[in-house]
Structure 1
Amino acid sequence: MTGEQIYVSHAPGDLELVQELFSTVKNFPFGVHITFEAVESGRSRRRLEGRLANSDVVVAVLTAASADSQWINQEIGYAVAKGIPVLPLYDDERCRGGFVEDVDGVTIDRQEPSVTIFNLLSRLRSELAPLGALSVPNWYVRFPCTVPDCGHPVTLEIKQDQTKLWMRSKHGKVLTASCERCESTYAFDPATIGYVRRDDGGADSDT
């Protein structure tokens, strides 16, 4: 799992929602292209065609705000024509139509965003699995240790499938990763892979 590209097609009014739902996804070692982040940085949406064409999955965010968006419809149609999987992320079944009417997607739960993030990660793990894989591939998050004067790379390996991760979260258990240099331990929510806390180790950071 490295180098995969995810293109997120959404309406301008859904940017804040999209950023919240993809905050964890962006920690994984693949590209996440959120359309209106690029537009706000000065790129025109028309010039994002290259990112769309090179994506491995297109996530179409379908809400009341996107109901009349010609861009989202065009980007879905483009992806389908190119054979790129489209994952609908929607508020209501009525928001789906056209090419994605019968495509299994993820319902947005605005009251429990952690549930949406978990289901989104589940579908992405499935969509990005190598062809012929017998099980969902391991994922990982790599980041620099945040202890002052350390900065050593830390890797959180995610070896369990989504069902087991959800059960760990429901039972209040966390996933952990440790820094080999300073022995600090980082805890993450298994459902969303969101950061929970850091427990500093007793070893000197130079050892």
Structure 2
Amino acid sequence: MTGEQVYVSHAPGDLELVQDLFSTVKNFPFGVHIALEEIESGRSRTRLEGRLANSDVVVAVLTEDAAENRWINQEIGYAVAKGIPVLPLHDEDRNRRGFIGDVEGVAIDRNNLTFTIFNLLCRLRSELAPLGALSVPNWYIRFPCTVPDCDQPVTLELEQGQTKLWKLHSHGKHLTTSCTVCGSRYYFNPATIGFVGREDGVTAQSSTRSRS
């Protein structure tokens, strides 16, 4: 599961919401292209066609702000015409209409973004790595150890299914992984795969004391 591309179509007024929803999704080893971020980085709307055409999934964020946005409607139509799956991420069912009116989406709960992100990850795992009903797509995130002078790559592998991850979250459990060099342990929210904290290992603690 590397190299896949996700394009996020949204209204300008929803940028902050979109960034909140995709903040942890961006940690996975696939590209996430948020339309307005692309524009702010210097890419014009018309030049976004390349991002859209090369996407494996288009996430359409459908809110009241998006209802009359011509770019979102065009991007959805383009994706449908090219056979690119469109995943509606919607406030209300009435915002899911037109080409994707019958496509099952993910409801946005602004009072519980954790649950929304969890459901979004469920659908993305299904769309990007459909390995069969009895298989669990092996997703992971990789990041450099944040202990000073370490920088060893650390990997959190997600071998659990989404149901198991939500159960862990419901029971207040964390996912953990450790740096193989300094022994520091990292904790993550099972529902969102968001970073929770770090517990320094013996090697990291010794290094800190030697510098003090």
Is the TM-score greater than 0.5? Answer: yes
The letter for the 1-side match of 2:40 is E
Q: Note the alpha carbon deviations across 1:137-172, whole angstroms, 9 max, x for none.
A: 110000000000000000000000000000000001
- What is the CA distance between 1:197 and its match in structure 2? 0.4
Q: Secondary structure at the match of 2:14?
A: helix
Partner of 2:142: 142
Show the 5 A alignment for 1:1-207: 1-130=1-130, 134-203=134-203
Identify the range of structure 1 (124-133 vs 38-47) with the bigger mean alpha-carbon deviation: 124-133
Q: Note the alpha carbon deviations across 1:45-85, whole angstroms, 9 max, x for none.
A: 11000010000000000000001111111101110111100
The answer for unaligned runs of 5 or more in structure 1 is none
Is the alpha carbon distance of 1:131 and 1:167 closer, same or farther for their aligned partners in structure 2, counting shifts above 3 Å?
closer
- What is the CA distance between 1:130 and its match in structure 2? 4.2
Does the Cα contact within 8 Å between 1:58 and 1:79 map onto a contact in 2?
yes
Q: Note the alpha carbon deviations across 1:110-147, whole angstroms, 9 max, x for none.
A: 00000000000000000011465742311000000000
The answer for unaligned runs of 5 or more in structure 2 is 208-212
Q: Secondary structure at the match of 1:203?
A: helix
Does the Cα contact within 8 Å between 2:131 and 2:137 map onto a contact in 1?
no
Q: Give the TM-score of the pair, scaled to structure 1.
A: 0.97
Does the Cα contact within 8 Å between 1:28 and 1:141 map onto a contact in 2?
yes
Q: Structure 1 vs Structure 2: percent identity of aligned residues?
A: 74
Is the alpha carbon distance of 1:134 and 1:141 closer, same or farther for their aligned partners in structure 2, counting shifts above 3 Å?
same
- What is the CA distance between 1:41 and its match in structure 2? 1.6
Identify the range of structure 1 (62-71 vs 134-143) with the bigger mean alpha-carbon deviation: 134-143
Identify the range of structure 1 (14-23 vs 132-141) with the bigger mean alpha-carbon deviation: 132-141
- What is the CA distance between 1:203 and its match in structure 2? 1.9
C-alpha separation between the residues in 1 aligned to 2:57 and 2:33?
Answer: 11
Q: Give the TM-score of the pair, scaled to structure 2.
A: 0.94
- What is the CA distance between 1:40 and its match in structure 2? 1.2
C-alpha separation between the residues in 2 aligned to 1:202 and 1:35?
Answer: 44
CA-based RMSD: 1.3
